[in-house]
Amino acid sequence: MSFSNEIKRRRTFAIVSHPDAGKTTLTEKLLLFGGAIHVAGAVKSNKIKRGATSDFMEIERQRGISVSTSVMSFEYKGAKINILDTPGHEDFAEDTYRTLTAVDSVIVVIDAAKGVESQTLRLMQVCRMRKTPVIVFINKMDRESKDPFDLLDEIENRLSINVLPLSWPIGSGKDFKGVYNLYNQTLNIFSGQDKQRAEEPLKISGDSQELTNYIGEKATTKLISDLEFLKEIYPPFQAEEYLHGTISPVFFGSALYNFGVKELLETFIHIAPSPRSIIAQEREVNPFETKFTGFVFKIHANLDPNHRNRIAFVKVCSGKFERNTNYLHVRQNKWMKFSNPTSFLAAKKEIIDEAYPGDIVGLYDAGNFKIGDTLTEGEILNFKGLPSFSPEIFRFIENANPLKSKQLHKGIEQLMDEGVAQLFISTFNGRKIVGVVGHLQLEVIEYRLLHEYGAQCRWEPVPFYKAVWFVSENHEQLADFKRRKERQLAKDKWGRDVFLPESAYELDMAKEKFNEIRFYFTSEF
C-alpha cells in the first residue's frame, strides 16, 4: 500500500466523558467489534476478576475507574483505528487535555439519564478551542433516560455545539427495543441479555408493517413520527461541517449491550478525519511530508512492573517512523536509535518495524524524554500546547520507611515524569513538595509507590494556594523578590523558578509590588 493511502486509512481519536458515563465500556465494545479482543471485560464489579482491557493498572481494576490514558490499535474493514481511552475523573483531567493534542477527532460519551455533566463541559471547551471534530454517543439507553429530543437540546445549549442525530433510539429503559441508523437506514434490534455479541443490523425498507413485525405497533408509530420530525428540524448530514467542527453527529445506544456501537463504528470509519496537519512553533507540519516528525504527549512509568520499564508515547505527525533508524531528539540535540518501538493494546505490546502519521508509538525510555519533546530527521521543530498546569493541592512527601529511600526516590522521579502530578523542591530547606489537582491523585501515587516500587510515603499538609512560574529580565527586582519570599520558593523538575503563595491576595500583592516579574499558571511560557 502506498504511503499516501496508509495515512488516509488511519483514524486516531480519543474517547472522553464525565466519570461513569460508560466510556471504558464503549472502548471495550469497539475493540470487540473490531476483533481486537474476543470477550468483553466487566468494569462495573470489583468481584469480577476480568477487568476492562483499557483499565490495565491494578488500582483501575480495584476502583472501577480509569486513571491513565490507554492506547489501543486495531484494524477494521481496511481502516487502522487508534483509540485513546482517557481518564474521566476530573483529578486526571490534565492527562486528558494533553491526549487531545495527539488525536484528530473525539467521541464524547454522555449518560442518557444524567445528560451533560461538568467534566464534559470542560473537555468540550478544549475541543472547541482546537476545532477538533466531535461525535457524541448518548449511552445507557437500556436504563430509564431523559427524552432524546431534550437530550439533543441540552447538548446544544450547554456544550455550545450544533448537533445532528445519525441514529435514533426506539424506547428506553425496560422498553428499549434497539437503535435505528439514520445514516444508512438499518435497524438493530435489542435482543436481550447477551453482552458479548450483537446481531447483524436488519436491513429494512422503511415499510411500517415490517417495522411492526419486529418492534410492535406502538413503537413503530412513535419511531415513524420521530423520524418525520427529525427530517423537518435537522438538515442532511454534510461531512465537511463535521470535519470543520461546526456540527457534531449524535448516536444513541447501550455500550453495555452493544447497541448503537456498531452503527457508531461503521459511520465513524467513513466520516472521521484521517491525520491532520499539526502546528509547530516554527511551521505547520503536514502528515504527507516524507520526513518523519513526532512528539511525546504522554509518559507512563512502570507499564510492566516486572521490568520497571518506562514508555514514552509518541504521536507520529509526518513521514514514516522506522525501527533502528537515527532520529534527532530536538531538546537534547542528540541522535537516538530505537530497537524496540511498540504498538499497544493497552498493556499488551508488540514490536513494530514502522509507523505512519496518526499512529502512536511506544518508545522505551531511560529518562531522556519529557512531555512535549520532539523527534525529527534533523529539522529543529518544537510542538507547543502540552503545558503543565498549576496544581491546587500541595503536600510535603516524606519517607515512611528509611530502609526504602532509594525505592521512594526512584518511584517519585518516575511517577512525576508522567505529568499528572508535579514535584517541586523547596529552595529554602530542600523538602520535596508534590502538587496535584485532586485528592484522588495523592491516593494513586501512594498506592503505586507501595505496590510498584515497594516504597511507603506519608503526606504532610502545606497551605499553598497555587504554583506560579515566574521570570524577569530585571535582575535586581528578581533578586529582591527571591530574598523576600525565600520560604515560598521552589524549583520544578526542570529547574525553573516557582513561587508558592499561600493565598490569591498574596499573589496579587506580589504582582503589584514586583511589576517587572511575569507570573504564569502554566509551565509553558
pLDDT of residue 488: 94
Whether 157 and 189 map to the same domain: the answer is yes
Cβ atoms of 176 and 144 within 8 Å: the answer is no
Domain shared by 233 and 187, yes or no: yes
Q: Tell me the CA distances in angstroms from 362 to 99, 209, 263, 312, 392, one per residue in order.
A: 14, 54, 31, 6, 31
- Any idea what the Cα angle at residue 283 is, between residues 281 and 284, rounded to 5°? 110
**Whether 196 and 163 share a structural domain:** yes
State the CATH number of the domain containing residue 504. Answer: 3.30.70.3280
Query: Domain residues for 507?
Result: 393-520
- Same domain for 340 and 243? no
* Grid cell digits, residue 441: 491523585
CB 30 within 8 A of CB 261: yes
Residue 286 lies in a domain: yes
Same domain, yes or no: 50 and 124: yes
What's phi and psi for 96, nearest 5 deg?
A: -65, -45
Do both 345 and 420 map to the same domain?
no
Domain boundary among 376, 404, 419: 376
Residue 372 and residue 405 share a domain: no
| Beta bridge partner(s), residue 360 | 315
For residues 370 and 441, membership in a common domain is answered with no
Half-sphere exposure at residue 344, Cβ-oriented, CA atoms within 13 angstroms:
27
Whether residue 381 lies inside any domain: the answer is no
**Alpha carbon distances (Å) from 170 to 256, 264, 367:** 17, 16, 53
Return the pLDDT at 524: 64
Sole residue written with cell 540535540:
333
Are β-strands 248-252 and 163-165 bridged in parallel, bridged antiparallel, or unpaired?
A: parallel
Q: Which residues contact 240 (CB under 8 A, 6 or more apart)?
A: none
Query: Going residue by residue through the chain (525 aa), what tens digit of pLDDT does each one get?
Result: 789 999 999 999 988 887 788 888 888 888 887 765 544 443 333 333 334 444 444 544 444 444 345 678 888 889 999 988 766 445 455 666 777 888 899 999 999 999 988 777 777 877 877 788 999 999 999 898 999 999 999 999 988 889 999 999 988 888 888 888 887 777 777 665 555 554 555 666 556 677 787 788 888 888 888 988 998 899 989 989 999 888 999 999 988 888 888 888 988 999 999 999 988 889 999 999 999 999 998 887 766 555 556 788 899 999 999 999 999 999 999 999 999 888 866 445 678 899 999 998 989 887 788 888 999 999 999 887 655 677 888 999 999 998 999 999 988 887 887 777 889 999 999 999 999 877 878 888 898 889 888 999 999 999 899 999 999 999 999 999 999 999 999 999 888 999 999 999 999 999 999 999 999 987 764
What cell numbers appear for 178 in the block?
434497539
Residue 192, pLDDT score: 55
pLDDT of residue 202: 61
In a shared domain, residues 128 and 229 = yes
Q: Answer whether 312's CB lies under 8 Å from 425's CB.
A: no
Find the distance separating the first CA and the last CA of the chain, reported in whole Å.
Answer: 42
Q: Clarify whether residues 296 and 370 are in a common domain.
A: yes
- Asked if residue 386 belongs to a domain, the reply is no
Do 276 and 19 touch, CB atoms closer than 8 A? Answer: no
Provide the CATH number for the domain around residue 91: 3.40.50.300
Report yes or no on 240 lying in a domain. yes
Residues 9 and 141 reside in one and the same domain: yes
Contacts of 439 (CB under 8 A, 6+ apart): 91, 393
Residue 179, amino acid: V
Which of residues 214, 242, 271 is at a domain's end?
271
In a domain, 383, yes or no: no
Q: Which residues pair with 85 in a beta bridge?
A: 15, 70
pLDDT of residue 207: 62
User: In this structure, is residue 384 part of a structural domain?
Assistant: no
**114 and 73 co-located in one domain:** yes
d(CA 60, CA 211): 43
Domain stops at, among 351, 376, 401: 376
User: What pLDDT shows up at residue 324?
Assistant: 93
Residue 433 lies in a domain: yes
Count the domains in the chain. 3
Q: Is residue 228 part of a domain?
A: yes
